[in-house]
Chains A and B, each alone.
Chain A
Amino acid sequence: MARTHGKMRPADARSAAGHVYVTGAGPVCALGLGVDAFASGFWGARARGQQLARRGGRRPRDAVRRVPDFDLSDYVESKRPYLDAHSRFAFAAVSLALASSSPVPRVAEPSRSGLALGTLFGNMASQEAFQRLVRQKGMRLASPMLFPHCYPNTTNSLLCIEFALRGYNQNFCGDSLCGARTLQAGHGAVRAGLADLMVVGGCDALTEPLLRALRQESAGPEAPALSEGAGFLVLENEHSVNQRDSTPICELASVVSGGTGVVGRAAGEHDEERIAGAVRSAIAGALAQAHLWEGDVGAVFIAVRHEGDDLVSRAGAQGRRGFSQLPTFHPNAVGRAFAATFPLQCTAAALLVNEGRLPRAPKLQRVEKGVELWVEQVPSSLLGDAALVLGWSAHSVVAAILKAV
């Protein structure tokens, strides 16, 4: 990974009071494990996706993109043979994130170092195993070893134990924005002085019952492939950066969320405008919190649903229309990785603003019709030094801005 900006000098640190820096990233997804594999896969997949689109190709409807097999002992020293895939992904991702953040891949002050984790499904494999055991053998023989691994915050707790994260803690488990909530919680905790370092991110693993159920649901032909993985970032304040000798990749300048005003299912034109308005409002809020203006944004990363012509997708596209001429990165490369999608898109955004240029500059044609407006030429350099990461649902919106240090 290129690091174009060196360690902060004391003068920089003083002037940067209150800033929240992204110092490490741990992507674990179908593209590979670690920043280098991720970056290579991300930009490569983008180019491949464009070629496919130019030929009018479509991915198979039942395509699933799995995390490649890996040995957890390559990432953590403690023996953890009992972990399910969900926890294994998260362990590898947090280990990678901390290792990439500092020459000393551990936290300096456990009570000032926290964790915020997001997951839609939690430890499904452990739940399934426990449920099967109860059904087969009855309550009396239910396993006291397995049940503690079935809670939605199991992985969160295991990570805290493994990496000595005794500080501020949150565990989100709602919709696909729950990964985004972790950035918001981490950013807020560091800014409020509740923590010096926060590990934030999301994780979800596909199991067979889950896959079967998900395949029963219809998805738009443009929907990204079902996927899985974990994406974690290390956020630090200046004190922690200097204490751990970390190197900022970029600054997490703002994370802003809001409601859309929609009650029940978004069903009509009125709701479409409500959602679009909420997206516009979140973007404006994120820019204001970051003390930036629209022209500072050089790229947009879309972190959640993109299912073609449905109302919620259309509304989101309308809401960000002011940025339609910028390079826009849909989550096609990482796939629909649920809680991991937003943090993984943030990882790509962080790398992009750190580089200050697009790793590849493919000449794009207008590859998609309708509401998703794509530019025909992507500049080789970013026009602004910040990236906007955006996610929304029928009810909530989250916008984050990462900018170069």
Chain B
Amino acid sequence: MAGRAKVYVTGLGAVSCLGSSVEELWEALLCGSCGLRPLERFDLEGSPYSTAGQASGIEPVDFAGCGVSMGAQFAARAAREAVRDLPEESRDGLAVVLATNFGPSEALEALLDGESVATGQRRLRDGPFAWDVDHVGDEIGAGGERLNISLSCSSGNAALAHALELVRSKRADAVLAGGYDSIQKVVWAGLSCLRVMTAGKEGEGPRVQPFDRNRSGTLFSEGAGMLLLESAEHARARGTELLAELAGAGSNNNAHHMTRADEQGRAMAEVMAMALRDAGVGSETVGHVNAHGTGTKLNDAVESRALKKVLGSRAAEVPVTSLKGGLGHAMGAASALEAVASVLSLREGVIPPTVNYETPDPECDLDVVSGVPRQVDLETVLNNSAGIGGGNAAVVLRKVSLARQ
């Protein structure tokens, strides 16, 4: 929109089951690799599911041993990567906006078990979620304001939405924003009973098959995705490379049902339209959609309906991908990792394939990128996400050459 400050992505960080750096993640996504394996972190007795995406390339320490949640350790690792080129002297005003589903779940488990959870300087009255953001903020020497958001699986995009507003309104020149989560036992028990995971077919292991006719559910994973956002002035002053423009964002709620998607996809369509409106661009500019694409029967169909509402007659032409086939559903980290991939798609003009997409589904009659990466010259990417409770969040990313015009 005219006159509004532009906000740029200038750094990326990633921890996932596909590796603990952006480079590893991107290479694996382009290769169509899958990071979902038997879960080994804890005893799975009683759970009908046993496949998940544990973060690789990082050895997290138990909460009891260090007083830092595993998720916060992932977030800190990704954060360090995202800000590695940001000089120390530029971090005084660096704000941190983190988002998560379950964040400090180990601390909450310990608390409810009656164990002492106050760790060093961090006291319970300051809020357990604040421990995570304080850990990350301290690790990267961020002196700006710090806050946490939790909007279930749309958390990552919701964090980007809030961070965008922080920079636009000049409350911060630079913000580290992203999402994170880790798989812990009680959380796993909860995810298991939601009945959204796939157990796989007879004789073969479970697979996530977004938008595929034979899709049968999702599989969860963990990690962190972080993006460093800067105002144009701040980025220009330090002469850093602009990776993409974060042009717009939206966040809303279905106001429909706690666990069941609104079959019409009304609010999901509205949130994508909100993000495009916020970016000041029309849907005709969208060259690629990085979809939520969980691989569950209903959600993929609903997302397809929502995309058709937003993209209109172009819905069947716009390349769509879901990373969850290989990356799994990284919960609070999911849409942040997908935003990282969206930035790389814009820069490199290539869209990673939707792993395990084999049979088109008439209910999901989109142009799903499959098999091999697709080369496309992209100007605008729409990154969509949704979560339990009906939360939706979307962001619009644009190529820098266009954004500068």
Contact = CB atoms under 8 A, between A and B. Distances in A.
B151 A170 contact: yes
Contacts of A257: 145, 171
B111 A130 contact: no
Given A161-B257, A164-B255, A210-B124, 17 more contacts: A111-B252, A111-B270, A120-B130, A121-B127, A131-B109, A144-B193, A147-B193, A151-B102, A151-B389, A152-B101, A152-B150, A166-B253, A168-B251, A173-B103, A173-B149, A216-B116, A219-B125
B38 interface: no
Interface in B281-296: none
Interface string B99-131: 001110000110111101110010111111110
A177 B147 CA distance: 9
Contacts of A359: none
A140 B151 contact: no
Contacts of B195: 144
Contact of B253 (A115, A122, A151, A185): A115
Given A120-B129, A263-B138, A151 B255 contact: no
B205 interface: no
Interface in A81-126: 110-111, 114-115, 120-122, 124
Q: Which of A131, A151, A169, A263 has the most CB of B within 10 A?
A: A169
Given A176-B127, A217-B123, A170 B44 contact: no
A115 B158 CA distance: 13
Given A213-B117, A257-B145, A140 B46 contact: yes
Contacts of B59: none
A178 B389 contact: no
B388 A148 contact: yes
Given A128-B112, A134-B186, A151-B388, A169 B147 contact: no
A243 B213 CA distance: 46
A395 B121 CA distance: 13
Contact of A173 (B129, B172, B254): B129
16 contacts: A121-B127, A148-B194, A148-B259, A151-B388, A151-B389, A152-B103, A169-B252, A176-B125, A192-B165, A209-B113, A213-B111, A260-B145, A262-B143, A263-B143, A393-B126, A395-B145
A153 B158 CA distance: 12
Interface string A282-295: 00000000000000
B150 A171 contact: yes
Given A164-B255, A396-B145, A142 B189 contact: yes
B264 to A, nearest CB: 12
Interface in A172-189: 172-178, 181, 185, 188
A140 B189 CA distance: 8
Given A140-B47, A259-B146, A261-B93, A174 B127 contact: yes
Nearest to B258: A148
B127 A175 contact: yes
Interface in B312-365: none
B389 A156 contact: yes
A212 B114 contact: yes
Interface residues of B, number: 82
A263 B137 contact: yes
B123 A263 contact: no
A194 B250 contact: yes
A138 interface: yes
A268 interface: no
A171 B392 CA distance: 12
Nearest to A397: B145
A185 B44 CA distance: 40
Interface string A329-350: 0000000101000000000000
A270 interface: no
A106 to B, nearest CB: 12
B190 A150 contact: yes
A76 interface: no
A318 B256 CA distance: 48
A147 B127 contact: no
Contacts of B254: 160, 166
A52 interface: no
B250 A188 contact: no
A161 B45 contact: no
Contacts of A395: 134, 137, 145-146
Given A160-B390, A161-B255, A259-B172, A120 B143 contact: no
A152 B104 CA distance: 11
Interface in A127-144: 127-128, 130-132, 134, 138-144
Interface in B41-81: 44-48
A174 B142 contact: no
B45 to A, nearest CB: 7
B188 interface: yes
Contacts of A212: 114
A130 B190 contact: yes
A258 interface: yes
Given A157-B253, A161-B256, A259-B145, A213 B124 contact: yes
Interface string A246-268: 00000000001111111111000
Contact of A178 (B103, B124, B148): B148
Contacts of B192: 139, 142
Contacts of A138: 45-46
Contacts of B118: 213, 216-217
Q: Which 10 A-B pairs have the closest CB atoms?
A: A157-B389, A259-B144, A139-B46, A147-B190, A138-B46, A152-B150, A174-B148, A120-B127, A261-B143, A175-B130
